[in-house]
Structure 1
């Protein structure tokens, strides 16, 4: 017997992994070092995976699996980096996201 079941949580995690590089581009400036952007992307990847695993455990009524959350965080980070270098950067979307936020007098405005 074969069952095809796609849980919502991993699908959301994949979508977040694709969108996180754009979010990092929106909250940083061009002057921000690539190392700082990478650390921010890694932190957001781990934070989203920890939260999505928590939501999944609460919805299913199961024990929170920290190991699975950390592995999902690594996978999300890999997807986000691959999306940035493979799709967003060559098409110029990363540059456009960085241009959305203009710094004026030390204040960010959209």
Structure 2
């Protein structure tokens, strides 16, 4: 058995591993987990549709794009909990760009 995936599919898979870090860059630690999941799902959907558009072949297939989006989302969730969170990369990403509002100090 040989696996012959086009470069677009490999690139899409690599992007889906990095997507949780991107979500961490644009959210804070206090952002609701559901909001982060919806953002990851949206980015995964974009990834899946763009990969299907970029992949060589006879034409664009919506079914394949949906499957690629689901695979990207699953890969993103697994890489977040299995790689980025245990190594501390997720926390550092959330601390780097976006900061929460500072609380006003009491008098």
Per the TM superposition, whether the score is higher than 0.5 is: yes
Residue 6 of structure 1: SS of its match in structure 2? coil
Looking at structure 2, the residues matched to 76 and 46 of structure 1 have their Cα atoms a distance apart, in angstroms, of 8
Unaligned runs of 5+ in 2: 103-107
TM value normalised by structure 2: 0.85
Q: Which residue number corresponds to residue 7 of structure 1?
A: 6
Cα RMSD, aligned residues only: 2.0
Q: Which residue number corresponds to residue 87 of structure 1?
A: 83
Q: State the 1:10 CA deviation.
A: 1.1
Looking at structure 1, the residues matched to 21 and 40 of structure 2 have their Cα atoms a distance apart, in angstroms, of 10
Greater share of residues in strand: 1
Q: Which residue number corresponds to residue 28 of structure 2?
A: 29
Q: Which has the higher contact order (CA 8 A, sep 6+)?
A: 2
Residue 5 to residue 29, structure 1, CA distance change in 2 (3 Å): same
Looking at structure 1, the residues matched to 52 and 5 of structure 2 have their Cα atoms a distance apart, in angstroms, of 15
Q: State the 1:5 CA deviation.
A: 3.2
Aligned length: 102
Residue 94 to residue 4, structure 1, CA distance change in 2 (3 Å): closer
Q: Which residue number corresponds to residue 75 of structure 1?
A: 71
Q: Which residue number corresponds to residue 39 of structure 2?
A: 40
Looking at structure 1, the residues matched to 37 and 2 of structure 2 have their Cα atoms a distance apart, in angstroms, of 38
Q: Which residue number corresponds to residue 18 of structure 1?
A: 17
